[in-house]
A and B are shown apart, each in its own frame.
Chain A
Amino acid sequence: MGTVVTIHVVGHGGTERARSERAACIDRGVAWFRHIESVCSRFLPDSELRRLSSRIGTPTRVSPLLYEAIQFSLQVAEASDGAFDPTVGLLMEDRGFTEEHRTGIRSRTTVGRQEPSTDNDPDEHPSSRRGGSPRPHFRDVILDSHDRTITLRRPLVLDLGAVVKGLAVDLAARELRPMENFAIDAGGDQLFSGSNADGKAWSVGIRHPRLPHTVLHTLRLSNGAVCTSGDYERPVRGAESDAADHHLLDARTGTTARAAASVTVIAPCAMAADALATAAFALGPVDGLRFLDRQGVDGLIVTPSFEEVMTAGMRDRVMTGAGTGA
């Protein structure tokens, strides 16, 4: 998925047998990333997700993995009142996100593009131009858990980017459980288990959204996942963008979300941490904080003017004063 995956296992290097068990666990963990990309990528033309996107109006039976990923993304869409919406795939393409941002795999779907618009209203949003049809909405994706089918009620492209990387981390973590003390980092989706090489809980610094060299707070984690969504790193390169646009959308308006500069979420699993951080980012500091509280996770939202709002649990977690290693 165009992401550098780092797996750090503490110990298990004492004997040849321990080393080979460790290597086997890591191999099985890494294999999940390749598998999930082949199933859920918006960028690979023959992924199961892309094949699903080409079938409009008919129930399509999908793999348990894809079903799970889509179901979870729809739950987050529902919980965030549509601020997070996995049906933004076409909108992302319009904004220039037609390539995997690290591998450079280029891909643009033809879904819903058969009827070029003749309407030149300059105020019209790009996504509303496809034959005058309204923008897709997460309620256009119909799940049937009994038959494990998914029906797309209108042409749309699902973007599971905020879900599948975390899902891969969680599945890799399951393979690594026998190792007890480990950390997985897949392009910012991080999961920690046990303790670090010093026998202490893993320390995780939260990056300042504008100063890459600065850590805002340090957390200690011995079991859990952390993910930060930020407005830095992935600017929009599409023709219709302005310089301040980035990849995080408020799906309710179809425009770049601007009320937050970064959102960090701690959750039991990486899939939830990533998706909830993305949703809270779209919601902004006030609604986003309420949303994280409702979801029962800890989070920190930093605004573009560097105000910080955080859940009560996060406040307890951030270490203050001495002992941060500063």
Chain B
Amino acid sequence: MLPPQVVERQSAEVDYVSGATQSANAFYFAVVDALSKAK
């Protein structure tokens, strides 16, 4: 369904995510939180 490069570009290594409403950022910060806990 999706071009593979799109999936590969998945990343939490950005300062902010631009998306409709703030849920995209809510996701981003959840990932960052999870990553920092994993360290």
Chain A interface residues toward B at CB < 8 A: 3-4, 6, 101, 183, 185, 187-188, 190, 192, 196, 202-208, 211-219, 226-234, 262, 264, 306, 324-326
- The reply to whether B11 and A205 form a contact with Cβ atoms under 8 Å apart is yes
- Counting chain B residues whose Cβ lies within 8 A of the other chain, the interface size class is 20 to 34
What is the CA–CA distance of A227 and B16 in the complex, to the nearest angstrom?
11
Q: Which residue in chain A gives the minimum CB-CB distance to B9?
A: A326
Chain B residues, CB < 8 A from A183: 15-16
- What total count of A-B pairs have CB within 8 Å? 109
Q: Which of A4, A6, A216 contacts B9 (CB 8 A)?
A: A216
- Tell me the bound Cα distance from A211 to B31 in angstroms: 15
In the complex, are the beta carbons of A204 and B15 less than 8 A apart?
A: yes
What are 17 A-B pairs at a CB distance below 8 A? A187-B21, A188-B19, A202-B15, A204-B14, A205-B16, A205-B18, A208-B6, A211-B7, A214-B2, A215-B17, A216-B9, A218-B11, A218-B14, A234-B20, A262-B19, A264-B18, A325-B14
Contacting residues, chain A, for B21 (C-beta < 8 A): 101, 187-188, 233-234
What residue of chain B has the Cβ atom nearest to residue A247's Cβ? B20
Q: Flag if B22 contacts A188 (CB, 8 Å).
A: yes
Using CB atoms, name the residue of chain B closest to A218: B14
B33 within 8 A of A: no
Chain A residues lying within 8 Å of B3, measured Cβ to Cβ, are 306
Measured CA separation A121–B2 after assembly (Å):
42
For chain A, what secondary structure do more than half of its interface residues adopt (helix, strand, loop), or is it mixed? strand
Which residues of chain B from 1 to 39 have any CB-CB distance to chain A below 8 Å in the complex?
2-3, 6-11, 13-25, 27-28, 31
Which residues of chain B have C-beta atoms less than 8 A from A4's C-beta?
A: 22
Task: Return the chain B residue nearest A215 by Cβ.
Answer: B11
Chain A residue with the shortest CB-CB distance to B24: A207
Complex interface: chain A residues within 8 A of B9 (CB): 214-217, 324, 326
Give the distance in Å from the alpha carbon of A229 to the alpha carbon of B23 in the complex.
13
Q: A213-B10, A214-B6, A326-B9 are in contact. Are A207 and B22 (CB under 8 A)?
A: no
Assess the A326–B14 pair: CB atoms within 8 A: no
CB-defined contacts of A205 to chain B, threshold 8 Å: 11, 14, 16-18, 28
